[in-house]
Each structure stands twice: as C-alpha cells, then as structure tokens.
Structure 1
Amino acid sequence: MITAELLCIMVEVARQLDCISSQKWEIRIGHRNLIVAAARYMGFGDFNSQNKILNVLYAISTSNKMLRREQRIERLRVGTEMSFNQANSLLNVLEGDEYSLEALIARTQCLISCRDDSVQELVRSAIDVLTNVSLLLESFVGAGSYFKNFCFLRILFC
C-alpha cells in the first residue's frame, strides 16, 4: 500500500535527479474501492469475483507492454468470466478518455447515484482519498513543477 507521504518523497527524489526532472511526468493514481464499487454495481458482489477483477486489472497495469483497449477487455473477459459488454462497461467507468480528478468524478457519477448504499460508500471514500492525495501533491510539488499531470485510475494503488 502506498501512502501520500511516500509518494511525495518519491516525487521529491525524482525532482532532484536532473535526468528525470527534465522529462515530462505523469503520476497515475487509482483506488481499489472504485474498482470494487464498479464490480458490485455490475453484479460482481462476491469476494472471489472482485478479487479476480482486481488481479486482472493489476496484471494489465503492470504489463511490460501497453495494451490496446480491446486487449484489456479480452483479458478482463477471459480472466473474470465477464461478458464483452460487462468488461467494456467496467473499463468505461474506470478509464475514460480523460484522467483528471474531475473526469473521474464525472465517470463515477452512476456509482455515486446507485441504489446500493455499499457502492455509494465505497465510491465516496475513494473519491475523498483521491481528492486529498491530489491536494497534497499539488501543494507539495507546486504550480511550476514538472509534475503537472496527475492521472487518476491507471495504476491500482489503495
């Protein structure tokens, strides 16, 4: 589990290294509860199904090669016994075209307004944590930093 403090230390170390600090950076952050909430919303309420989804998404995010969307859908479909439509819908909520915190909140609006209280609670807690991490990182790295882009829900940290 990665904490905001550890992430800030890593950012500061990277900023001090000339060969790294001269590059454009993109910090990708996600939250386990968002994935679990989306899985529950789609009917995967049992722990084993959720664990399969988490494992497949983790494998996708740590893959040595960049997978196309179709490949990610296929891995989800095969690894979790989802239909194509379920895997596609799950990725629509979790990924989207824009990775800002505001875009993530907009994409998860269907989960926030869901009738299932446990789904709502998971999403709200995850959004609160991600908002706090975003604010902490923005204040830590400053407005003129190389670390201007924070991408939410691309790597599965919780």
Structure 2
Amino acid sequence: MFDRFWFCLCLWHLVGVFADSDAVKSVSVKEGDSVSVETNTKLQTDDVIMWTFEHPETLIADIDTKHITFSTYDVLDGRFRDRLKLDNQTGSLTITNTRTTDSGLYGVTIRSRTDITYRFNLIVSDSVHCCDSAEAVIRLVFTALVGVAAAAAVVVLVYDIRSRRAELDV
C-alpha cells in the first residue's frame, strides 16, 4: 500500500512537470513592433532547438549546439525574410517588424536530455485600429468636450431666436 502511494505521488509530480509544455501560451503584439518568444532555458552542449510555424509545421529556425549552427529559413514565400533573430544564449526567437500575417501557432522543440515542446499563439493586431488605454481616454474626453460645445451652441442659438421673437412681439 505504501509503495503504491509513493508511485502515485511520483507520477502525479511528473504529470505536473510536463503539463505546462502542452499548454498554448498567447502572445500579443502590435503590427510593426518586435516580439521575442522565450524558451526559458540556457543552451547546453548537444542541445537542438527547432522553431516551427503553423500547420504543416514549417521549420523556420533551428539551433544545433553540437555543430554550432544557428539558422533561420526564408520559407513561406519569404514571409519572414530578414526578420527572424535567434538568441545564441537561450535559443529564444525574435520576430522584428511584425505583420498581421505573422499571426498563428508557433512551436519550439528543445531536444536535450529529454524532448520538450512549447506552443505559442502569436496575435499581431493592426496598429491602425488599435490604441492603448491612454489614447482611448483622450479620444473619449475630446469627443465629450465636442459634444458639450455642440449642445451649448444649440442652447445659445435657441435662446437668441426666442429673444428676437420676443423683441418683435413687443
């Protein structure tokens, strides 16, 4: 009975350790900005890291520390041309000058002593239609002030018309 308890406890702990790699993490960025997707690791000797995009999973970058190669690939009709950068310490991927077409599912597989795969859903929003909260508040206040000014103008106009009619009636 005691042995089963320890077995179940160890199994539960292992499931907890590897469960995070199954989750898809969402990353949002505005069009034109750069985004770095972190591997949360430090490269070791004999590590192989492969970055993929969408389905079928297209290899866009890889690192082979044994052969000391760091490669990015110009795939998918040049979609990522000269915009992918690899961190030679961590294996993290940076996409510069993001475009809405960069949105999608990215994966990184780290082959070391064990294989670990992480998935990221990158969402690149159109910068023209997106604004931060400070800009939204400024727009709201400006719109409210214009509305108040328009209402005041209508009140003054109505008052002026009534005053002139009153003068004519006398």
Instruction: Give the shorter-chain TM-score range.
Output: under 0.3
Higher helix share: 1
Q: Greater Rg, structure 1 or structure 2?
A: 2
TM-score in terms of structure 2 length:
0.23
Higher relative contact order, structure no. (Cα contacts within 8 Å, ≥ 6 residues apart): 1
TM-score in terms of structure 1 length:
0.25
